[in-house]
Amino acid sequence: MEKSTFFKLYYPGAVLCERETQIPALATLAQAAIESSWGEKAPGNNFFGIKADKSWKGKRQTLRTREVFSDNDRKKHIFPDVHSVTQFKDDKGKVKYEWIVNDYFRAYDTVAEGFSDHGKFFHDNPRYAMALQAKTPYEFADAVAAAGYATGPGYAKLWKDVMSGLKEFLPGQKK
């Protein structure tokens, strides 16, 4: 989907989420773009790739995903199915492992429900307390990534780059 179309469709939901949770709408929208491939992959209206751990009481779905870990410990990293594990070196020369697995993810009846739960997710998890103190959407992205939201390298940079690309569509911005 085109950036402008994605923005028009989902920015209102991000603004509503910001009103409810004080999480910057730009950060929410950019993360939705990353996690859903610009709205192309949002099964169960889960635009954020939020997993359904044991505490989740709502609907869930099993999806294939990619995880990156610094070890290959199958007792520590438990998934319903492991399809492959591949060793590689990151950009700093450290050995990492890419796991292709099935895991449980949250599912929602509507897009609005998914966006709302995204904000609630950060407020309900103490590990994101520092992120909630962020003064800008960019600081929020750095803090969320530092708290371990995504296992992939470079997540915060990608998130901030997407935010920068979306800023042109914000109300009051020159085209």
Please report how many Cα atoms fall inside a 13 Å half-sphere around the Cα of residue 51, on the Cβ side.
Answer: 18
Instruction: Identify whether 20 is a catalytic site residue.
Output: no
Question: Distance between CA atoms of 44 and 111, rounded to whole angstroms?
Answer: 9
Q: Which of 18, 35, 117, 142 is catalytic?
A: 117
Instruction: Identify whether 117 is a catalytic site residue.
Output: yes
Q: Phi and psi dihedrals of 100, rounded to 5?
A: -105, 115
Question: Distance between CA atoms of 163 and 141, rounded to whole angstroms?
Answer: 10
Q: Which of 67, 98, 113, 161 is catalytic?
A: 67
- 163, 141 in Cβ contact below 8 A? yes
- 84, 100 in Cβ contact below 8 A? yes
Give me the active site residues, please.
Answer: 67, 117
